[in-house]
Structure 1
């Protein structure tokens, strides 16, 4: 009997949306968006992080001023209670995703374990 893991993955995706962790993250994100300044700073920080990650993936060395700018922006963004709450909820979601990844990759891990 052939198994379609993509069907299972799509089912899991739908079920993830119903978890307490996802709903808490979604609520925290919505709350943050209501604070226009917090949301604007958060989006700016996200954009900067993506730009820096892309540079690193292309093998470019990050300059000291870029790292300082990112650090300074992270400090500013982190001062908003809405962003702090969002980060807390992200931790819960991340833990669940890590647990799921361990379960999903278990067959491959076991294959290479003697």
Structure 2
């Protein structure tokens, strides 16, 4: 867990927070775990990719902004600098909300 959020870290390098919105609040297991790790394999050569899922016990009426705040708290508590973020599927909406509400936590490429 990362500050109360289930996560599974894989790879080496700077963090790449992968936002997965799943029906269950848990680290993927079985076939779902294998699929998640296979999907993240290309990123793992350059990043440590801890996929995040929902915090256990969140009410079903939790808004995207509230969920983004939960992830923002976890990022603040775990990292001392902005991080890379990747949202998959519905996690993309969560990544956008996180970037809009907490832009200081998101790493931006330099040109």
Band the TM-score falls in, shorter-chain normalisation: under 0.3
User: Which structure dedicates a bigger proportion of its chain to strand?
Assistant: 2
User: Which structure dedicates a bigger proportion of its chain to helix?
Assistant: 1
Q: TM-score, normalised on structure 2?
A: 0.28
Q: TM-score, normalised on structure 1?
A: 0.27
